[in-house]
Amino acid sequence: MVALRSNRWLQVSATGIIAAVIFTVVGISLGSGGPEGPLVGPVAFATGGTVDQMGEAESRRPAVGQTTQVDLPFTAAEAVAAGWIDPVLCSVGRGRYFQKGPADEVEPYVLMYNSLENLIGVYLFSETEMPPPWQQMDELKSVGRTKIVDFAHWGLFVYFQDPLRACRTTEAAEGSGNVFGGQASQKRSAPTAVVPPTPTPTTGQVLESVVARMAKVASLSFTLTGEPEGAPLSAGTEVQKVEGTLASSGAVTLTVTGSAGTVLEATAGPLPFSFESLGATLSGIAGALAEPVDTKAEWIDNRPKRGISGTVLGRDLSSLVPGVVADARAAVTLWVDDEGRIRRLRIQGAVTPDDPPEAVRVLNLSGYGE
């Protein structure tokens, strides 16, 4: 299920997810030594076919789709080694919630371990409405009201052991021999070799990454519009939207939409914008951004993107808008993803002789290729 980070497993239904989990739980229940005994592994998510034995995909795969299996870290130490973060604190009746980065950026599930370092369950969550036994949740919190999933979602707890026995109690810490606690306390468990968090890159570091990354882009898709919606992209024209692709060969294909909703194929020539070598053009704009500061993130393709704003001179925009006034000044905001790619560019201000002072152009980018 780790593959959800990249393509969200669009081919997997809720029923398939639950069935995979149930299969795993049944296998564990039959082989475990009880709620205090060790788990018998492996523990895995599987889809696209059946599994004959735990960890072995069926040799007779279905005609459509290939069996996909993801083994889950069996112990807390294995989880940390795989990049999962140990929260240290144990939430009574739940266990220790291990995450692999912010809930809105990575795997749509949280692993739960007990004080004996064993995997005892998984919490699945989805922004898409799911059928029972999934339950709609505003958020998921841990000890000290720490938010594990900080947005509305549909969630499902799946446990392999009794979660009420997940945490050690104060009595256990004093050497009573009772290694499990009920709902008596929320105790800090012994940490598992926590990997120090990666520092957040500075604004300057992000821009350096963007400049280098965009210079290498050979192909992408883009959409240029104005603000407010429906505003013309330039004075004296009724063009409201330009959509297009830049191929790795350098060829640009455009579709232009006018004020009456008329759509026609066009080349870059008649337009007051140039999209040739767009990757290099955007790299240059990012590198020319003066006095850059972080600004509010925006959600693009269901993910938050870091925002950076600053100012540029008209000459820095000439590769994108050939008719600019060289010494004009415009406010520019970039929203970039974790790979240093610009996903949205907003230019505010008059940059051509005919632009009104409030002119705004927004360029959305996707479909990147190297």
Q: Which of 120, 152, 173 is the last residue of a domain?
A: 173
Per-residue pLDDT, 9: 38
Per-residue pLDDT, 185: 41
Question: Which CATH number is 321's domain given?
Answer: 2.50.20.20
The answer to whether residues 104 and 216 belong to one domain is no
Per-residue pLDDT, 337: 92
The answer to whether residues 141 and 288 belong to one domain is no
Q: Which of 158, 173, 188 is the last residue of a domain?
A: 173
The answer to whether residues 124 and 230 belong to one domain is no
Give the range of the structural domain holding residue 296, as residue numbers without chain letter: 203-369
The answer to whether residues 209 and 169 belong to one domain is no
The answer to whether residues 362 and 309 belong to one domain is yes
Buried b (16+ CB within 10 A) or exposed e, 151-175: eebbbbbbbbbbbbbbbbbeebbee
Cβ neighbours of residue 51 closer than 8 Å, sequence gap 6 or more: 23, 57, 58, 67, 69
Per-residue pLDDT, 183: 38
Supply the Cα-derived Rg of the chain in whole angstroms.
26
The answer to whether the pTM exceeds 0.85 is no
pLDDT averaged over 10-residue windows placed end to end, the chain, 370 residues: 38 41 39 45 68 44 56 88 85 85 72 89 90 88 77 88 72 38 44 64 92 93 90 81 91 86 60 88 94 92 90 93 91 94 94 90 88
